[in-house]
Amino acid sequence: MAVKDVPDNVFMTTLDAAANWARSNSLWPMPFATACCGIELMATASSRFDLSRFGAEVMRFSPRQCDLMIVAGRVVMKMLPVLQRIWLQMPEPKWCISMGACASTGGVFDTYAVVQGVDRFIPVDIYVPGCPPRPEQLIAGIIALQDKVIKTGTINGREFAKRTSATGPAPFDADELIRIREANEQLPVLN
Amino acid sequence: MSHQELLQAHFPSAGLDFSEFRDNRRVIVPKERLVEVLTYLKTEGGFDFLSDITAVDYLEYDDATDRFGVVYILANTETGVRVIVKTFVNDPDPTLPSMYPLWKCADWTEREVYDMYGIRFEGHPDLRRIMMPDEFTAFPLRKDYPLKGRGERHNFPVITRSES
């Protein structure tokens, strides 16, 4: 059916594109700030760098009101269940930025308590490198996420259903954990 | 009267070992006399503040005779004098009496030593882990525990994007 006589203030688009345009320009971040990256995250949101230029300044400390989780800082094994619960509490559609070396890989903290990258246990969309990243880098990450939402987003989140495997390195199975434990127990005692 | 004169006068045959390095005044006390010595230091010596309790694992020391050293750092809040009291415990089941009845602040510091080294404090009102999660089974600051752990940090469910 051809459309005739479209008024000047009416334009036509797909529902997906309209939803992506709205979502990408009004990201509401959930600041999961656990370390020094959190300071840069605060600086990004404040007046000098002014995240509100990109429509993402509404930091919400309730996961129910957010659609972008920014994991800023190292996550220890006691904190990871908290992180996972907060992620599960966020309504769809939602995205995750892993900010800084520690959140992405564990950074220099290769110890028993620190999770070696949150992408092993929750899905991550954008990684921002740096230790800590400067606010410009985080803003670049948010712009990249906006680009990703615009290019791949759908109004009902169909693209998420395809991501069935873990974002990060392959997860350890129980046997591998047992092998790690046994290898550790055979370490020679240093003297 | 210094803590050394006080203790030597009151415990002449307790086997106390005094030493000093710069302004660190140290006393090594046998485990059996620990409560007496600390009680006496608090009531008569004026050491009314237990600054910290910590521990050392001497597993890989060639000349060490004991496995764990437990260190009590006392302070006199009127004169500013500090004394470091040290005692030794051994495997299996390293146990010390709790100092909670003397100083209430021993509550959390003893829980910390228990969490990191597995040294139990008898008489402690609530000896739980304070830092590591409750389901953690090892004592991570012991020298026979590997730095990267035994896979505890990888032992979580994986949430993928399609299911969240």
Q: What is the dihedral of CA A115, A94, A150, A155, to 10 degrees?
A: 150
pLDDT digits (tens, 9 = 90+) for A44-61: 999 999 999 998 888 888
Which of B143, B152, B153, B159 is the best residue to mutate to test the A interface, defined by the most A CB atoms within 10 Å of its own CB? B153
Residue with tokens 């500013």: B80
Give the CA distances from residue A57 to residues A12, A26, A136, A191, in Å, rounded to whole numbers and listed in that order: 29, 9, 15, 54
Residue A85 has pLDDT above 90, yes or no: yes
Mean pLDDT value across residues B134-138: 89
Tell me if B162 and A161 make a contact (CB, 8 A cut-off).
yes
Position B35 scores a pLDDT of 92
Tell me if chain B has a CB within 8 Å of the CB of A170: no
pTM here?
0.86
Integer Cα distance of B30 and A127 in angstroms: 55
Report whether A184 contacts B146 (CB < 8 A). yes
Residue with tokens 């040294």: B119
Tell me if B156 and A110 make a contact (CB, 8 A cut-off).
no
Position A191 confidence tier, pLDDT thresholds 50, 70, 90: very low
The residues near A180 (Cβ < 8 Å, ≥ 6 apart) are A172, B150, B151, B154
Q: What is the dihedral of CA B116, B119, B120, B124, to 10 degrees?
A: -60
Residue B86 has pLDDT above 50, yes or no: yes
A84 by DSSP, 3-state: which?
A: helix
Position A5 confidence tier, pLDDT thresholds 50, 70, 90: confident
Residue A183 forms beta bridges with which residues? none
Report whether B153 contacts A113 (CB < 8 A). yes
pLDDT digits (tens, 9 = 90+) for A138-183: 999 999 999 999 999 888 888 888 888 888 888 777 788 888 778 8
How many beta-carbon pairs below 8 A join chains A and B? 96
pLDDT digits (tens, 9 = 90+) for A105-121: 989 998 999 999 999 99
Judging contacts by C-beta atoms under 8 Å, the chain A residues touching residue B135 are none
- Among residues A92, A97, A85, A98, the alpha carbon closest in space to that of A159 is found at A92
- Among residues A117, A127, A125, the alpha carbon closest in space to that of A151 is found at A125
Judging contacts by C-beta atoms under 8 Å, the chain A residues touching residue B156 are 77, 80-81, 84, 115, 120-121
Judging contacts by C-beta atoms under 8 Å, the chain B residues touching residue A188 are none
What is the nearest CA distance from A112 to chain B, expressed in angstroms? 4
The residues near B69 (Cβ < 8 Å, ≥ 6 apart) are B55, B56, B58, B86, B87, B88
In chain A, % of residues over pLDDT 90: 63
Nearest 5°: the CA angle A84, A92, A75 is 20
Give the CA distances from residue B125 to residues B5, B64, B101, B158, in Å, rounded to whole numbers and listed in that order: 34, 32, 10, 38
- Nearest residue of chain A to residue B58 (CA atoms): A191
Position B164 confidence tier, pLDDT thresholds 50, 70, 90: confident
Mean pLDDT value across residues B99-103: 92
Which of B161, B162, B164 is the best residue to mutate to test the A interface, defined by the most A CB atoms within 10 Å of its own CB? B161
- Among residues A97, A115, A100, the alpha carbon closest in space to that of A54 is found at A97
